[in-house]
Structure 1
């Protein structure tokens, strides 16, 4: 049985080296392509398919040429600022601090992207006619959610930092 396990591990290793990713990646990628193909077939008969494709291509181009350089530069600035803070031996702590800033920033940016029309009060008449509500609270709520995400992340980081810096408590030796 051990020989079979070793042989299977060798095959899996050779596949990973040849394919460039773990074995589970291939069926996952095939499933994603299947779903994307199904969506494309469903949209092919729609009258607005060309317009949707245009928006999709524009979104990809705007992301790659405008948005990606902005957040890549912001991430590099964050990493540079973190590298100037603290001792060289605290590299893992600095990286954790950077990640505790990245995650709420990403959440905040995604919420801004989703709720930007409401925050900017675009289509206010249509929104009010459809819901009977105004778009006034969108900005305040987005700011409060952003503050809450950063606060929770900061508290979590402080708890992790305290746990790392606290001395390890070992039980007293058993004396019989």
Structure 2
């Protein structure tokens, strides 16, 4: 066991878990290979990986590093509403961007037009609440 740990660099359970994950991913890939839309799914996956790894990750890593100089408290008060806003954006992406009008209307009976404005309002409220909480915490720290 010690030789395996020294050669692999982690515990044996880590290797077992990793092999299991690759097995599940391989099974899913084999199941999707026969689907007619598999090429489009692969294209979207590769595009998402490239967009995230080459564009988004360096951008939010640089912003996080810049916020780190202002202090960990401010960093967390920006991270939480940004993460919530990004998650909402991803969940409602087609509606926020105005895509898929027919699908959204057929499923809900509504138009996706107000989703962008609502997402912007929710984002503004999240950041405003976080800024208010940061200000209150800062004021309480100065008074004590």
| CA distance in 2 between partners of 1:143 and 1:70 (Å) | 20
Q: 1:58 aligns with which of 47, 57, 78?
A: 47
Bigger mean CA deviation after superposition, 113-122 or 150-159: 150-159
Given that 2:78 and 2:130 are in contact with CA atoms closer than 8 Å, whether structure 1 keeps it comes out as: no
Task: Give 5+ residue unaligned stretches, structure 2.
Answer: none
| CA distance in 1 between partners of 2:38 and 2:125 (Å) | 39
TM-score, normalised via structure 1 length: 0.61
Question: RCO greater where, 1 or 2, for CA within 8 Å and sep 6 or more?
Answer: 2
Aligned residues: 142
- CA 1:97/1:20 → structure 2, altered by over 3 Å: closer, same or farther? farther
Larger Rg: 1
Q: Deviations over 1:88-147 (max 9, x none)?
A: xxxxxx213312311221221232233232112223234223321111331233234324
Q: Deviations over 1:46-100 (max 9, x none)?
A: 12212211221122112222222221222222223x0xxxxxxxxxxx2133123
Q: 1:113 aligns with which of 58, 81, 90?
A: 90
| CA distance in 1 between partners of 2:43 and 2:116 (Å) | 29
The residue that corresponds to 1:124 in the other structure is 101
Larger fraction in helix: 2
| CA distance in 1 between partners of 2:111 and 2:10 (Å) | 49
Given that 2:104 and 2:111 are in contact with CA atoms closer than 8 Å, whether structure 1 keeps it comes out as: yes
TM-score, normalised via structure 2 length: 0.72
Q: 2:18 aligns with which of 29, 32, 39?
A: 29
The residue that corresponds to 2:35 in the other structure is 46
The residue that corresponds to 1:102 in the other structure is 79
Shift in Å at residue 157 of structure 1? 8.8
Task: Give 5+ residue unaligned stretches, structure 1.
Answer: 1-10, 83-93, 168-176
Runs of 4+ in 1 over 3 A off after TM superposition: 17-28, 147-150, 152-162, 164-167
